[in-house]
């Protein structure tokens, strides 16, 4: 179902009037985690003003350490829904387990499957049985073929609204948090009709690299970006080092619009 042999033309996903695919440069931006009502509403206004279509923010956070901030859970979802009401932004947020699929679906416009869950086949099948579009992140050490098979799991349950998200993979390089595989964008485009979004925040782990990699992603054919933005990155509860200030995010938006217009 994921392949170009099944479907030749590019898939365009409609998320309540906002489209993903067909090179429309859809941007999903916001904090790594929903930290408080104030932090989220402020973030929403910032990303909306810069031109993003989606607000991102994790209410359930898959953290490396069990002692790190785990997210506000249901209250976080309520803040996301309030931000949508106030700004008109669409909401994309991560669902981490089968048990919370129904709850997250009640609030989100799009369900994010995180890198750590890319091969959680029960979770893939569960989101495949919902009517919510899915953003499927590439696993930390997943090949393109494994990633496309994960998308196949979702689609095989009847949900064809799947967008892929390249967020970097583990390599020997440790200067960057992950190695952002921009060649995967071109590869996926040739094999599959599904839209592909690039996340240069997790892909590099360094805010200074996010702007250039955003430009490269769009020049290379990505359908959009997922970018972490925080009102005050130095005070973020997670991923502050890779989060953009409002000013830098606004610059990214201006730059990618120019590139999108010529490629």
The contact set with ligand PEP (CB under 6 A) reads: 32, 58, 62, 114-116, 137, 167, 202
- Whichever of 11 and 120 has its CB closer to ligand PEP, that residue is 120
Q: Which does 114 bind (CB under 5 to 8 A by kind): ligand PEP, Mn ion, none?
A: ligand PEP
Q: Least Å distance between CB 32 and ligand PEP?
A: 5
Closer to ligand PEP by Cβ: residue 115 or 155? 115
For the CB of residue 7, give the shortest distance to ligand PEP in the complex, in Å.
Answer: 26
Q: What is the dihedral sign for C-alpha 134, 138, 142, 145?
A: positive
The secondary structure of 172-229, three-state, reads CCCCCCCECCCHHHHHHHHHECCCEEECHHHHHCCHHHHHHHHHHHHHCCCCEEEEEE
What does 115 interact with, of ligand PEP, Mn ion, none (CB < 5 to 8 A by kind)? ligand PEP
Shortest Å, Cβ 243 to Mn ion: 8
H/E/C letters for each residue in the chain? CCECCCCCCCCCEEECCEEECCCCCEEEEECCECCCHHHHHHHHHHHHHHCCCEEECECCCCCCCCCCCCCCCHHHHHHHHHHHHHHCCEEEEECCCHHHHHHHHHHCCEEEECHHHCCCHHHHHHHHCCCCCEEEECCCCCCHHHHHHHHHHHHHCCCCCEEEEECCECCCCCCCCCECCCHHHHHHHHHECCCEEECHHHHHCCHHHHHHHHHHHHHCCCCEEEEEECCCHHHCCCCHHHCECHHHHHHHHHHHHHHHHHC
- Of 19 and 176, the one with the shorter C-beta distance to Mn ion is 176
Say which entry of Mn ion, ligand PEP, none residue 211 contacts (CB below 5 to 8 A, set by partner kind): none
Q: Which is nearer to ligand PEP, 119 or 259 (CB)?
A: 119
227 binds, among Mn ion, ligand PEP, none (CB under 5 to 8 A by kind): none
In angstroms, give the least distance from the CB of 238 to Mn ion. Answer: 6
Nearer to ligand PEP, 116 or 215 (CB): 116
Residue whose CB is less far from ligand PEP, 195 or 261 = 195
Closer by beta carbon to ligand PEP, 189 or else 230: 230
Residue nearest to ligand PEP (CB): 114
Smallest distance, Mn ion to C-beta of residue 119, A: 20
Minimum CB separation from ligand PEP for residue 114, in Å?
3
**Shortest approach of ligand PEP to residue 123 CB, angstroms?**
13
Residues that bind Mn ion (CB under 5 A): 32, 239
């Amino acid at each position: 179902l994921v392949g170009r042999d099944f479907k030749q033309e590019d898939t365009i996903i409609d998320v309540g009037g906002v489209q993903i695919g067909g090179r429309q440069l859809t941007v999903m931006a916001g904090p790594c985690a929903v930290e408080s009502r104030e932090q989220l509403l402020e973030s929403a206004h910032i990303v909306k003003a810069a031109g993003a279509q989606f607000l991102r923010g994790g209410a359930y956070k898959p953290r490396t350490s069990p002692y790190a901030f785990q997210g506000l859970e249901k209250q976080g979802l309520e803040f996301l829904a309030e931000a949508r009401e106030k700004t008109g932004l669409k909401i994309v947020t991560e669902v981490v387990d089968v048990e919370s699929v129904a709850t997250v679906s009640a609030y989100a416009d799009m369900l994010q499957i995180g890198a750590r869950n890319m091969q959680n086949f029960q979770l893939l099948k569960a989101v495949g049985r919902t009517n919510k579009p899915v953003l499927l992140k590439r696993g930390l050490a997943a090949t393109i073929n494994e990633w496309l098979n994960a998308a196949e799991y979702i689609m095989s349950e009847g949900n064809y609204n799947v967008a892929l998200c390249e967020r970097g993979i583990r390599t020997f390089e440790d200067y960057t948090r992950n190695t952002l595989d921009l060649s995967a964008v071109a590869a996926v485009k040739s094999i599959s009709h599904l839209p592909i979004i690039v996340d240069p925040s997790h892909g590099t782990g360094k805010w200074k690299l996010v702007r250039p990699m955003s430009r490269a992603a769009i020049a290379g054919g990505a359908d959009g970006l997922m970018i972490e933005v925080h009102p005050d990155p130095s005070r973020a509860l997670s991923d502050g080092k890779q989060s953009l200030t409002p000013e830098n995010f606004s610059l990214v938006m201006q730059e990618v619009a120019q590139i999108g217009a010529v490629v």
